[in-house]
Amino acid sequence: MDLRSFKLHRPDQHVRAVVVGARGEQGRDLEGPAYARVDAVAGPMWAAFERHAGSPVRAVAVDAFARHATLSLADARRPGLKLPGSEFEAFVDVVAPVARTIRGELIARAPDVPGAGPGEARFWDPMFAADTGGWELGRAAPPLVTWFSEHVPKGMHALVPGCGRGHEARLLAALEATVTAIDLAPTAIAQAQAMTPPGLPITFAVQDLFTRIGQPPAFDLVVEHTCFCAIDPARRDDYVTAVADALQPRGTLVGLFYAHGRPGGPPFTTDRAEVERRFARRFAIEQLEVAQGSTLIRHRQELFAVMRRR
Ligand SMILES: C[S@@+](CC[C@H](N)C(=O)[O-])C[C@H]1O[C@@H](n2cnc3c(N)ncnc32)[C@H](O)[C@@H]1O
């Protein structure tokens, strides 16, 4: 569930947020102790805004998707101060923790399935059915959208492992790649199929990525988004083997690796050193850096990678 926009109002101790998930947008409010938990991380943001405005600020409205903000000043005679595009980017480091906390307050916790682990469909299926998957952005990840708009995958055969509702698969197919999108969870695949307009060249299949190990290579592109972080970390070398085996020699892996730094999971965190260490065995790593343009709630928490199969 992603945070599209929010307004934080200090005098009223109130947050109004718009969240987006698989079922579209929803307005939500936070008050009382939930507001206090948000305010507890908002100090650096207010301080930065007040330095910028040169006066006390009583509210901020952030459009997280369009990436701009408006400040309401305590002096009601002064008009709101707009922070467009590049000006807003200068504040993202202090706004993102606030956005993450708001979203953390609003997210519906998935009920535990007794005894089920992330390697099983019965772990994932109920989250797709009830729309409690915290990972859901409701669209393809912005850094991947930017990359593929500049590196159009037209004519490529692409594999999307752990495709969920198929956002990245549709992105690639709309850019004229031929896509195979696989997921362990039948509910994910059913929903992905229902969301996909007829005529897009995507084959959706219920399939465990690890069953591809040792199969003949069939793809020239693998696109990773929140599959690596979803599997049991003990199987990460198997993940590398599976995606490398799926690719033709010199085939490309383009992906986002979630490096949120929190314990537990899924999503299980990673870092640059681990990605380098595990993937170097089968890939030449051409690019591995903190992603630019991540959705606000994942700002500086995603590594963007481009790798070439050896
Ligand atoms: C966190 S969700 C992300 C879904 C999608 N990539 C997105 O970002 O919207 C992880 C997905 O990986 C799938 N998955 C986990 N292990 C898998 C495996 N071994 N093979 C295929 N899919 C797997 C889950 O069923 C789930 O749909």
How far apart are the CA of 182 and the centre of ligand 1, in A?
8
Report which protein residue has its CA nearest ligand 1's atom 11.
162
DSSP 8-class letter at 133: -
Structure tokens, 195? 């969301």
DSSP 172-241: HHHTT-EEEEEES-HHHHHHHHHHSPTT--EEEEE--GGGGTTSPP-EEEEEEESSTTTS-GGGHHHHHH
Q: Is 166 in the pocket of ligand 1 (CB under 6 A)?
A: no
pLDDT for the residue numbered 131: 87
Q: Is 209 in the pocket of ligand 1 (CB under 6 A)?
A: yes
- Given ligand 1 and candidates 125, 227, 238, which is best to mutate, with the most ligand atoms within 8 Å of its CB? 227
Side-chain-facing half-sphere of 156: CA atoms under 13 Å: 26
Side-chain-facing half-sphere of 24: CA atoms under 13 Å: 2
Q: Is 2 in the pocket of ligand 1 (CB under 6 A)?
A: no
Q: Is 192 in the pocket of ligand 1 (CB under 6 A)?
A: no
pLDDT for the residue numbered 179: 98
Compute the distance between CA of residue 306 and CA of residue 310 in angstroms, rounded to an integer: 13
The answer to whether 197 and 129 are in contact (CB under 8 A) is: no
Q: Is 208 in the pocket of ligand 1 (CB under 6 A)?
A: yes
| CA distance to 70, 96, 135, 278, 300, per residue, from 267 (Å) | 33, 19, 8, 18, 16
pLDDT for the residue numbered 225: 98
How far apart are the CA of 162 and the centre of ligand 1, in A?
3
How far apart are the CA of 176 and the centre of ligand 1, in A?
23
How far apart are the CA of 245 and the centre of ligand 1, in A?
19
Please provide residue 43's backbone torsions phi and psi, each rounded to the nearest 5 degrees: -50, -55
Tokens 């362990």 sit on residue: 184
Angle at 51 between CA 45 and CA 55, to 5 degrees: 105
Residuewise pLDDT in 10s, the chain (310 residues): 999 999 999 999 999 999 998 889 999 999 999 999 999 999 999 999 999 999 999 999 999 999 999 999 999 888 999 999 889 999 999 999 999 999 999 987 777 788 899 999 999 999 999 888 889 999 999 999 999 999 999 999 999 999 999 999 999 999 999 999 999 999 999 999 999 999 999 999 999 999 999 999 999 999 999 999 999 999 999 999 999 999 999 999 999 999 999 999 999 999 999 999 999 999 999 999 999 999 999 999 999 999 999 9
How far apart are the CA of 161 and the centre of ligand 1, in A?
7
How far apart are the CA of 73 and the centre of ligand 1, in A?
44
How far apart are the CA of 135 and the centre of ligand 1, in A?
10
Structural domains of the chain, with CATH: 2-106 (no CATH), 121-309 (3.40.50.150)
Structure tokens, 191? 């929903």
Q: Is 167 in the pocket of ligand 1 (CB under 6 A)?
A: yes
| Nearest ligand 1 atom, CA 125 | 25
Q: One-letter amino acid identity for 47?
A: A
Please provide residue 59's backbone torsions phi and psi, each rounded to the nearest 5 degrees: -155, 155
pLDDT for the residue numbered 23: 85
Tokens 């083997």 sit on residue: 241
Q: Is 222 in the pocket of ligand 1 (CB under 6 A)?
A: no
pLDDT for the residue numbered 76: 84
Compute the distance between CA of residue 150 and CA of residue 49 in angstroms, rounded to an integer: 34
